[in-house]
Amino acid sequence: MEKLIITAALTGAEVTREQQPNLPLTPDEIAEAAYECYKAGASIVHVHARDEEGNPTQSYDVYKEIKEKIAEKCNVIFQPSTGGAVWHSAEERMQPIELSPEMATLSTGTTNFGPDVFMNTEEYILKFANRMKELGVKPEIECFERGMINNAVKLAKKGILNTPMHFDFVLGVPGACPGEPRDLIYFADSIPAGSTWTVAGIGRYEMPLAAQAITMGGHVRVGFEDNVYIEKGVLAESNAQLVEKVARMAKELGRQVATPDEAREILGLKI
């Protein structure tokens, strides 16, 4: 089986210090968390920026600072968010693409997101995808619902998305698709042959879906964006502790963990 790519989703846009006291917020804290996760086995970091008050921002400058600070420490793949927070405009959300990162997220549909709506109209999706293509940024296609896979396949048929595509199934968001074993099987069975996929299980779904993905040959995303607990009722000390747990599970299940350069090879990124 292919080596396992572990992504650390370090901060997110929704989690607060009240919910997770060790949440990294400043560029220095995010870069340090990225480095710790890299040492624990992560080959990708999924990054959301925060402003000086700790609120979500899609500022080009803040993402640039984070990207540079991470690159000073290690060669982990930097994957900024184009999702931002539900209240960000499409223009704000697009800003980190201009840094020409190796990867960035691309949500291919609209979903309920807790009490809110995470808006991704066809117009947005085309704008984001076209700009990523122009700048050679590989999209990680975020699918919260099954139809979002079809939307991506349609874009690939039109040549707007390059193949093979890389998907992230985000399962267990309140208001969207849950993260039961059958949900992951259905999503993984629905993508075009030759695609790669990872799973981000939200909340209590995180570790069970990680174990399932390890055995199915997929990849795994964990981190405070998705879940703040290391076990039921016990807050994780750090993002790296969650990555360590997945790396340990992979070892027990006989799957080797990919380095960043091995992840680049698996995903078809330039080395």
Under a CB-based contact definition with an 8 Å cutoff, are residues 146 and 184 in contact?
Answer: no
Question: CB of residue 144 vs ligand KMH: minimum separation in angstroms?
Answer: 9
Query: Considering only residues 57, 81, 111, 151, which one is a binding residue for Zn ion as defined by CB under 5 A?
Result: 81
Residue type, 100: S
Q: Which does 82 bind (CB under 5 to 8 A by kind): ligand KMH, Zn ion, none?
A: ligand KMH
Q: To the nearest whole angstrom, how small is the minimum distance from the Cβ of residue 9 to Zn ion?
A: 6
> In angstroms, what is the minimal distance from the CB of 193 to ligand KMH?
25
142 binds, among ligand KMH, Zn ion, none (CB under 5 to 8 A by kind): ligand KMH
CA distances, 31 to each of 49, 57, 64 (Å) = 11, 16, 12
Considering only the stretches 78-86, 120-128, 130-138, 149-157, report the one whose residues sit in contact with ligand KMH under the rule CB under 6 A. Answer: 78-86
Q: How many Å apart are CA 236 and CA 174, to the nearest integer?
A: 21
Which of these, 32, 65, 78, lies nearest to 264 by C-alpha position? 78
User: Residue 230 binds which entry of ligand KMH, Zn ion, none, with Cβ cut-offs from 5 to 8 Å by kind?
Assistant: none
Helix residue ranges, H only, 162-259: 181-189, 206-216, 239-252
Q: Which of positions 52-71 make contact with ligand KMH (CB under 6 A)?
A: none
Q: Tell me which of Zn ion, ligand KMH, none is bound by residue 111, counting a contact when its beta carbon lies within the kind-specific cut-off of 5 to 8 angstroms.
A: none
- Residue 83 sits at the vertex; the CA angle it makes with 232 and 91, to the nearest 5 degrees, is 160
Say whether residue 95 binds Zn ion (CB under 5 A).
no
Question: How would you classify the pairing of strands 116-118 and 111-113?
Answer: antiparallel
Q: Which does 85 bind (CB under 5 to 8 A by kind): ligand KMH, Zn ion, none?
A: ligand KMH
Instruction: Tell me the closest approach of the beta carbon of residue 32 to ligand KMH, in angstroms.
Output: 21
Instruction: Give the strand pairing for 229-231 and 219-222.
Output: unpaired
SS3 46: strand
From the list 36, 142, 145, 226, which residue makes contact with ligand KMH (rule: CB under 6 A)? 142
Q: What proportions of the chain, in percent to the nearest 5, are helix, strand and coil?
A: 40, 20, 40
- Structural contact between residues 54 and 18, judged by C-beta atoms closer than 8 angstroms: no
What is the rounded distance in angstroms from the CA atom of residue 252 to the CA atom of residue 166?
Answer: 26
Does 85 sit near ligand KMH (CB under 6 A)?
yes
Binding mask 20-59 for ligand KMH (x = CB under 6 A): ----------------------------------------
Beta-bridged to residue 157, according to DSSP, are: none
| Binding of residue 83 to ligand KMH (CB under 6 A) | yes
| Residues that bind ligand KMH in the complex, under the rule CB under 6 A | 13, 81-83, 85-86, 105, 107, 113, 118, 142
| Residues that bind Zn ion in the complex, under the rule CB under 5 A | 81
